[in-house]
Structure formats: structure tokens, C-alpha cells
Amino acid sequence: MRLPRGLGYDAPVDAEARIASVETSQTRNGNTRWTVTDDSGTKYTTFRPAIGQAAEQAEGSRARISFHEEERNGFRNVYLDGIEVAASPPGDAARGDSDPEEAAWRTAVDAAPYLLGDEARDGEIAPEEAFRKLKPFKDLVSEDIRSGPDDEDRARGAGTDAAP
């Protein structure tokens, strides 16, 4: 919920983003200012040492960010109210799902019985031959993961939890 514009203050907001950088600087009064930049380029500012140090520890990681915006004299300031490293989604770390190459190889191995045919099921295929047959499929899957959903996929709702 946001307060009406013109009062200079907006209600607190929470977001989750990767912390791209944390910079410190000294103000004219000698206070330390921490400027936190997330992966989308949004900058947050805090003068609170505990929050600034937590931001430094979260640098390079996904984090939950609590902030509020103030508008003064036509300038929009985004103040950091809290930050904590976000837990990885279930299965991410254990399965390595963040790496398209690894996910593509896992998919190729799962599809191997269908791609390699009867000789693989009978154990009569050399490892080099299996690699030669699986790698082109792995490359296609990896490229598809990197490119994300195309317009046709979005129209069907692919990649979402929407029912067909």
C-alpha cells in the first residue's frame, strides 16, 4: 500500500533481487552512506551501519530487500530499510538448475533411451558413440533454455504453472 503522493513518503516495499554492488562513501558531515545496486540497476541508500554491513555480506547473492521511497523537491530517493540473503529456491543448489549446460545434459541423459535406441538399452553402445548422439540434443536444449520462452510458448502459457 502506498500513501498518497505529495506527502513525500511511500509505504515500505519488499523485493527480491541479486545485489550487483555495494559502495560506501563519506558525506560532508562524516557519516557513511551505503549505496546498493541490484541486478536491474536500481539503487538503494542507507546510512544505518547494520543494514550497510548486511548489504556488503549479501553482495553477489540474491537477497530480500525492504525499502521505502521518499520524494523531496522533485527528487525520488530509495532508502534501504533491511536486507537479507534469500534462500535458493528448492532444488536449485542440489540440482544445479541455474546452469543451462548442466540442465541440458541432465535432460539429454534422461532422454537417452529414446535417442539412442535399442542398442543402448542392450548395453551395446560405446561411450564415444553415445556422446556423439546425445551432444547435438544437449546443444539444442541448452540453446532453448538460454533463449527463454518464445512468443508461441508464451501464447500457450508454456513455462508457467497455468493449465493448458
Q: What is the pLDDT of residues 6-27, one digit of tens each?
A: 444 455 668 889 999 999 999 9
Per-residue pLDDT, 126: 83
- For the stretch 81-137, pLDDT in tens is 999 988 765 444 444 456 788 888 888 888 888 888 876 666 778 888 888 888 898
Instruction: Examine the pLDDT at 164 and tell me if it is beyond 70.
Output: no
Is the pLDDT score of 46 beyond 50? yes
E strands of the chain, at which residues?
13-26, 32-38, 43-46, 62-72, 75-85
The three-state secondary structure class of 48 is coil
114 DSSP 8-state letter: H
Q: What does pTM read for this prediction?
A: 0.49
The candidate with the shortest Cα–Cα distance to 141, out of 115, 106, 114, 91, is 106
The predicted pLDDT at position 72 comes to 86
43, 22 Cβ separation under 8 angstroms: no
**Is the pLDDT at 63 greater than 60, yes or no?**
yes
Distance, CA of 158 to CA of 107 (rounded, Å): 17
Instruction: Give me the helix-helix angle, 100-116 and 127-147, nearest 10°.
Output: 130
In the numeric block, the cell 541479486 is attached to 18
DSSP secondary-structure letter at 134? H
Closest by Cα among 78, 10, 16 to 45: 78
Query: Architecture of 13-85 per CATH?
Result: Beta Barrel (2.40)
Domains of the chain, by residue range, sit at: 13-85, 92-148
Give whole-number Cα distances, 108 to 44, 121, 134, in Å. 42, 15, 6
